[in-house]
């Protein structure tokens, strides 16, 4: 690339508003890899289905982080960003 072409490309990229933000964790993938052994979106398994979980993000976050009843804590298995993504997935699927 010539320097002029690089400068034009950079200017278009910077001023177009199309800069791509880094993607965060995928809640659906996290659900599939950590939760489906006990939870389903619509039917009861060992734990309640997503459709019957509390619609309170704070309660969901605390439950995932600290565990509850037979559910283990995930604070040492998932990052805060992963827990947030999982909560967003749960709320979006209720």
Average pLDDT score, the chain = 86
Residue 51 lies in a domain: yes
d(CA 17, CA 75): 36
CA 5 to chain centroid, in Å, comes to 39
Summarize pLDDT for 29-73 with one digit per residue, the tens. Answer: 999 999 999 999 999 999 999 999 999 999 999 999 999 999 999
Residue 84 lies in a domain: yes
Range(s) of the domain holding residue 85: 22-92
Who's near 48: CB < 8 A, 6+ residues apart?
39
Number of domains in the chain: 1
Answer whether residue 90 shows pLDDT above 70. yes
d(CA 87, CA 94): 11
Residue 3 lies in a domain: no
pLDDT at 25: 96
Cβ 89 vs Cβ 61: under 8 Å: no
Summarize pLDDT for 19-29 with one digit per residue, the tens. Answer: 445 689 999 99
CA 9 to chain centroid, in Å, comes to 33
Residue 46 lies in a domain: yes
């Amino acid at each position: 690339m010539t320097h002029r072409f690089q400068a034009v490309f950079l200017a278009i990229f910077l001023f177009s508003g199309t800069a791509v933000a880094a993607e965060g964790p995928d809640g659906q993938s996290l659900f599939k890899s950590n939760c489906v052994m006990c939870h389903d979106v619509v039917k009861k398994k060992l734990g309640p289905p997503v459709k019957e979980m509390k619609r309170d993000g704070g309660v969901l976050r605390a439950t995932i982080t600290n565990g509850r009843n037979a559910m283990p804590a995930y604070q040492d298995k998932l990052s805060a960003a992963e827990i947030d993504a999982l909560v967003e997935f749960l709320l979006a699927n209720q």
